[in-house]
Amino acid sequence: MPALAYCVDATAAPPPGYAFAGDSSLPSPDLFPGGPPETTIFTSPVSAPTSENLSWSPSLSSSLYKIDGWGAPYFSVNGSGNMAVRPYGTATLPHQEIDLLKIVKKASDPIRSGGLGLQLPLIVRFPDVLKNRLESLQSAFDHAIQSQGYGSHYQGVFPVKCNQDRFVVEDIVKFGSPFRFGLEAGSKPEILLAMSCLCKGNSDALLVCNGFKDAEYISLALIARKLALNTVVVLEQEEELDLVIDLSKRLFVRPVVGVRAKLRTKHSGHFGSTSGEKGKFGLTTTQILRVVGKLKQHDMLDCLQLLHFHIGSQIPSTTLLADGVGEAAQIYCELVRLGANMRVVDIGGGLGIDYDGSKSPDSGLSVAYGLDEYASMVVDVIRSVCDRRSVKHPILCSESGRAIASHHSVLIFEAVSASTYEVPSMSSIELQYLDGLTDDARVDYQNLSAAACMGEYKTCLLYADQLKQRCIEKFMDGCLGMEQLAAVDGLCALISKAVGELDSVRSYHVNLSIFTSIPDFWGIDQLFPIVPIHRLDQRPSVRGILSDLTCDSDGKIDKFIGGESSLPLHEMEGNGNLSGGGGRYYLGMFLGGAYEEALGGVHNLFGGPSVIRVMQSDGPHSFAVTRTVPGPSSGDILRVMQYEPELMFETLKHRAEEFVQEDDDGCEGIANSLAMSFRNMPYLGSPSSCFSDSDTDYNGAVDSGSGDDSEQWTYCYA
């Protein structure tokens, strides 16, 4: 079959520059009358640079990625085009800002070069941010209490389920000690860690014990009471009261009891399923009355001192908050009327954060209020209800884990390569394969050619798709060869490119496991801000989705804040691959400090990231690394799944001795490489990490990725 132009009637005048025989290329988009629609990577309200204005700036990147919306006051873009952390929020001075790229370089550079030798992905923790979030929450309630003449105080608790990491919890206890800030636990291990940590906290700090309980759980809570910890056993189910009464008498301890009320107030947002009358936890009004009656019967009504409730996580508006708090305040006043020794209202979790920067009450990713509005509404509603009922103002408590922990942690990962569909160039020889098309396919081809000459690019796409589908069917029937099918694919791709309809979204392959590090994205479609942490003084020129290392089709991120299905990204220098010759391209996931680490699994046996703890410092780089924890090795992860890495290594070593020739140190080299693989992280590394030094014995180092070398990383200052 002749080239495309030969299928057009000879009397038809082709557009200027149309390619005829001897030139198999298709016309470029501007040769179609009117031209195809222009495409751009920018869908947010940022003007793309025109031919008159090709400049780019960090402020444009900040607007493009909505950093000021979701990141303020802790994250910004600095003058170098890198993401910067402002550890003290609005009080951060310019010289105190911390450049994230410098942290990554410090963490990932080899030890011999002055780095820490850590492998990515990397979690960077900022205790200063954690402290500022806690202080800001306390300040918001203190201001509301003082301005409204409230007759009691606020003392919150941190729900350790949000992030059970030892150093996070210990930091919260330390930073919160001046405010009587406590902990909330929901399981026996969580009670144990909370008891241990609070031994160093404020003696008035609350230990709130939630969740399903058995005899051992309640015994632990009562033992905590005997250890002079301010412990409250919150009844989630009515039958738990019998255990509390029985065990408290056996242990000779007077318990402090709370009840969780199952409110009728419910929100319909992303996290609203835990609220309302059909919520998982809590007691109905009828059950609460029976609890009061039983406590009175056992002369223990004075033990009932706390009312707990939970409207749902990520409460979208203060209007909904006021409804729930108002309902709970009425229950509190009724319990006072019934003779209970009520002292505390625990409003539970629900204080939301703005993941997408929209400040919208209609988005499951945002909230239409700040800390001050939240605290003011809570104080105002409870004060008003108690004043009307002539009830003393209670101590206010909240379990605001997401709002405290989310901002302090940043997940850094690397894009190692990028793929995109390259439109092939077609020679006259390749086009000759089209001569073997069937008659009906020839008709599609002729219609396609005619539409191209008339500049009807939408019709071109229609006929191109029809031609392609018809040829696929013939190939499936065995009537068409692979060369002919490839020629049709190439022709259709050229046409799509010519009319501007070729899919330009690239797949960026990232050194990460979505299931391990961002499980909420996969599990509940939770979105987090994801931004390149450098090159933000350059205009992003492509759009991409992120594809992780797992052998799972779900292991990709193709939804982003702002309703986007792709993310503006920069071209990777030298394709950025790990074989060398390319520049690194780093991205950060922000606001993931709550829940993600606790929920992550070991899908495909990828373990957690390395962790680095960074505090603001007056040194040359404005930060100091105070603790590092290398990520778990392949041996560590195998051990979690009941394998024995030491025995596995010995089995493989003996196999090598049996089948590998001894010349060129082949057996020893294989054994060393196997040992190195057991002790390395499962994520992609540099090629040099696959080979061991010939003078190093790794046979004794396969049981852990944290040997003597890791100890010297523990305290290292930038």
- Catalytically active residues are 551
Instruction: Tell me whether strands 206-209 and 182-185 are parallel, antiparallel or unpaired.
Output: parallel
Three-class DSSP category at 219: helix
Alpha helices by DSSP H, 258-399: 285-297, 318-337, 371-388
d(CA 700, CA 703): 8
Angle, alpha carbons 251-186-221 (nearest 5°): 15
d(CA 442, CA 436): 9
Q: Which residues have CB under 8 Å from 543's CB, separation 6+?
A: 41, 504, 505, 506, 566, 567, 568, 569
Contact yes or no for 488/47 (Cβ under 8 A): no
How far is residue 174 from each of residues 31, 131, 400, measured CA to CA in Å? 69, 9, 17
Three-class DSSP category at 380: helix
Using alpha carbons, select from 289, 275, 369 the residue that is nearest to residue 325: 275
Sheet holding 75-77, edge to edge: 75-77, 83-85, 98-99
d(CA 124, CA 629): 11
Using alpha carbons, select from 677, 523, 544 the residue that is nearest to residue 600: 523
Q: How many CB atoms lie within 10 A of CB 511?
A: 21
d(CA 624, CA 616): 6
d(CA 23, CA 52): 34
Q: Which two tokens stand for residue 421?
A: 């569909």
